[in-house]
Amino acid sequence: MADGDDPLTDGDDPDGQEPLPGPEPSSGRESDESSDGGPGPEPDPPVEPHELRPQRKLRLWQLAPIVVLGALGSLMFAFPLAFEPGGSSGAVVSMLGLLLCGCAAGWGVMAARRVGHTWPGLPARGSGGRPDWRVVLIYAVVVCTVVVLAVWRVARLR
């Protein structure tokens, strides 16, 4: 092999690549004066990073059906309980209202998750963090308590 044929020792560039055209990279320290003794170019203002995607948020057309379904369900649940009409139709209407409220709540939670919101105390979606078991237990106890009280109240109508 000739001296110039060895790709590892060929040339004075250790990477084996030619330098890119343009100004040479500096050592990180810029002097206030240029090489001819005059004042150097003004430093650029610091660049602030900007998000390229628009902020994800719930729009009115996404929120309106969720709110309407939740309001309708809560009214259907509350009125038969408040006025207790005769017969068993009050319990059926109340249970249907409770079902609609539950559907609206689930729909709202899923829509909020989709735009990046999270429950207080729980890690953000995709962060890789594990939720604290105590927070999950508190949420489960609260939801179960509300469901048991609602079903118990509707069952008392019969």
pLDDT tier at 123, thresholds 50, 70, 90 = confident
Q: Is pLDDT at 10 greater than 60 in this prediction?
A: no
Q: Is pLDDT at 23 greater than 80 in this prediction?
A: no
Which residue bears the tokens 């309407």?
A: 68
- Could you give the CA distance from residue 26 to residue 142 in angstroms, rounded to a whole number? 61
Name which of 12-21, 52-61, 130-139 the model is least confident about.
12-21
Confidence at residue 29, expressed as pLDDT on a 0 to 100 scale: 52
- In terms of average pLDDT, the best of 9-13, 47-51, 92-96, 145-149 is 145-149
What b/e readout covers 93-119, taking b as 16+ CB neighbours within 10 angstroms? bbbebbebbbebbeebeebbeeeeeee
In the chain, % of residues over pLDDT 70: 66
C-alpha radius of gyration, the chain, whole number: 33
Helix (H, G, I), strand (E, B) or coil at 111: helix
For residue 33, report the phi and psi dihedrals to the nearest 5 degrees: -120, 145
Confidence at residue 39, expressed as pLDDT on a 0 to 100 scale: 66
Average pLDDT over residues 95-112: 88
Which residue bears the tokens 């017969």?
A: 87
Between these two residues, 34 and 153, which has the higher pLDDT value?
153
Between these two residues, 4 and 137, which has the higher pLDDT value?
137
pLDDT tier at 61, thresholds 50, 70, 90 = confident
Average pLDDT over residues 33-37: 55
Which residues touch 105 (CB under 8 Å, ≥6 apart)? 70
What dihedral angle (degrees, nearest 10) is formed by the CA atoms of 18, 15, 29, 40? Answer: 0
Q: What one-letter code names the amino acid at 29?
A: R
pLDDT digits (tens, 9 = 90+) for 124-155: 877 888 888 999 999 999 999 998 988 887 77
